[in-house]
Structure 1
Amino acid sequence: MTVLLPRVGWIGLGDQGAPMARAVAEAGYPLHVWARRRSSLDVLAGVPYQLHDTVADLGADSDIVGLCLGDDPDVREVATTGGLLESLEPGAVLVNHGTGLPAFAAELAELAMPYRVEVVDAPVSGGHVGAVEKRLTVLAGGDPEVVAFVRPVFATFATTVAHLGGHGAGQIGKLLNNTLLMANQQNIAELLDVAGRLGLDLPALLDAIRAGTGSSVALQSLGRAITPDNAEHLSRLQLIDMDIYRKVVAPFVSGLDPLTERAVAGAQALPRLARLTFPPPTAAG
């Protein structure tokens, strides 16, 4: 007996969203796409998909819709003004893969309630490289049964799916993850300052630490996913994440707590780290 897979709508074909959408199509899910710019569709060359002229047309043909947009206002515009929620059938699931405020995740669920549409906040960690290699981590918030329903779709581009709680829990998890990453960047910056004063060969030291117990994703990314060409852009995005994080943790801490301060410094240090870091040597074939 043939099993019909859910129809998956996708909005957001950027650096991370495009390889995620490709993975969904490659896994055999019927992929439905809407894009503001037709040039964005080039990234889907070679995989089957159906293009829709409007957001509402996409919603009407989708059981699950994944949003991989820049920020909460973009998500709100597509979901409401764009007509997505209104076009979805009762029981459909709207998944927000963007990073944003936990409070907005709860608000989006409330906006969807009159339409009987389910909502999951499911930001991802792993960057462009993780998306291309289909090894992202999904941090999900929402109803357990709904998360279980969309989990097979997540598995097309992720190796880890963590359901952390109700609406907004996925966003909190992502913000905590990003904060730790940036704090580790500051650890690296301080370590390189000390190592430089001690006269060590920095590229050789970094190669050794990458292979040793002091390694981290922050260090592994330097010189690989993070380069002098993209570090300024990534630093700005990280500082935006820290602004969101501060809004979330403000009621629970007084002033600028040490973790937040270290993470902000790490985000600011990223361009300098990229300039100091060299790609590790590749193994001989």
Structure 2
Amino acid sequence: MNVGEQIRRGREALGMSQTDLADAIWVSRNTVSNWETGATTPDIQSFILMSALFGITIDEMVKGDANVMAQAIARDRNRLLVVGPEFPKDDSKVGDAAGDGSQNGSEAEDDAASITLTMPEPQGNEVFGNYERIEASHDGVPEFRLVRTFALLSMSNYRIENRAGEVVGTIHRGRALFDPVYQLRVPGFERVQVKRGWKPADFRYVYTIEGEGVGVDGAVLGDEFSIWRHEERIATVRALRGAGRPVYGIELEDGDARPLAFGVAMMFLMLRDYDRCWVRTSR
């Protein structure tokens, strides 16, 4: 089944017209018609919004059209995320690759602890994006926690706790006009800011990140992206299959930047959930 057929079936299963779907994901009815006939293909943001709306994974949406997602990423990469530096694709710069003979490959992989988290339901108004507590665990043991310390409408503060319960950073959520802005502070590092904004000229939402030489490679609204700092990859985030709320796997590289990497990942995952909530409330 191709992407156009998946879109048509998902829309009809919800009893939506092409106009209803177009209104829900901020495109024109003609755009939806072109997707369903195969004349054009969706962009990344439209894929993630329809995935949330239809209750299926992006993988399931593009199954049968192997090149569609690659084309969407190539076409829309700079419209979804604006970063400062260009980061290398050479994995030799990532981690400690056993060059001294003291580790084999599998042991080196174990050093990058993989943690899993399930995004909880937001508290109160869904689009305000307030979460009481988010836990990320490794082998069943909480590795990091995000604990809300303050919330008022669209503003909220969180502390980041490590496995020992120590506070290793904070995240503040505010807003610029109608879009959320997140600021991460981790001792020993510059402030990192991630915000979502509307670009009228491109008719697209753009995620921007700045501070501490941090950037992202990949589709932050897709199934996988990596977080870089000064040309070193510090984390990889993957969307996992799961029923109900979104589930993610995060691989953190060893080192002092682990709390920073987790905080940056959480800012993007909260923004991603914000977009899911906008879709849900527009049904």
TM-score range, shorter chain: under 0.3
TM-score in terms of structure 1 length: 0.21
Higher relative contact order (CA 8 A, sep 6+): 2
- Structure with higher helix content: 1
TM-score in terms of structure 2 length: 0.21
